Amino acid sequence: MTDDYFEAILIWSEKGPSTAVNDWFIKRGLKVAPMHKGLLISGKQSIFENAFQVEPLGPDRPLALPVPAEISDHVFTITVMKPRRF
């Protein structure tokens, strides 16, 4: 099985940004980059699956990921990106 690299966009809830959210992802081995209205989260598929405690992710995109309870106050949605092509 291939371990693909994913990008997901996190959109802040009305409460806005929180460094605890950034730390939550970094602690689980995912990379975060600040965006205008959220965060860009990236990493290998297996790391996403471990972090979000989900079954192997299917091919459908965009794909909404379940927002973990620990960070749900600050997070509106987390979505795996639609594929981009040349």
Partner 1 sequence: MKSIVPYQKLTQQALPKSMQGYVSVTSKGKKSIFSRKSPPKSAKAFHATKTDLKEARSALESTGVQIVAESRLGFAIAGPPQAFEELCDGKVVTVDRLMHAEGGRERYVTHLDIVGDKQPSMLGHGKVKSSKMKIEGLLIERPRLLQSIFPSPIPPFVDQFHLRVPDDIAVGLGARKDLLNGFMGEGIIVSMVDSGQYAHPFFAAHHYDVLPAKTVVTGTSSTKDPVGHGTGESANIFAIAPETKLQPIRATDENGNLVGAIGGFLLAKQDSPAILTNSWGGDGPYPPTGPPDTYDIAWAAEIIDAVENGIFVVFSASNGGFTIEPQVPGVLAAGGVYMTGDLEMQASNYASGYPSPWFENVIVPDVCGLVGLSPRAQYIMLPVQPGCELDIFESQPSPNDPNDDGTMANDGWALFSGTSAAAPQIAGIAALILSAKPGLSSAQLTEAMTKTAVDIHTGRCHPRFNYPAEIGHDNATGHGLVDASDAVQYALDHF
d(CA 80, CA 8): 4
How do 5-12 and 63-64 pair as beta strands? Answer: unpaired
Binding segment toward partner 1, per CB under 8 A, in 14-22, 27-35, 51-59, 67-75: 27-35
With beta carbons less than 8 A apart as the criterion, state whether 49 and 57 touch: yes
Tokens, residue 25: 């992802």
**Does 84 participate in binding partner 1 (rule CB under 8 A)?**
yes
**Rounded to the nearest whole angstrom, what is the least distance from the CB of residue 20 to partner 1 in the complex?**
20
Comparison of 61 and 70: residue with beta carbon closer to partner 1: 61
In a 10 Å sphere around its CB, with 0-12 CB exposed, 13-18 middle and 19+ buried, how is residue 60 labelled?
A: exposed
Please select the residue that binds partner 1; options are 33, 66, 70, 72, rule is CB under 8 A: 33
Q: Interface with partner 1 includes 82 (CB under 8 A)?
A: yes
| Contacts to partner 1 by CB under 8 A | 4-7, 9, 11, 31, 33, 35-38, 40, 42, 62, 76-77, 79, 81-86
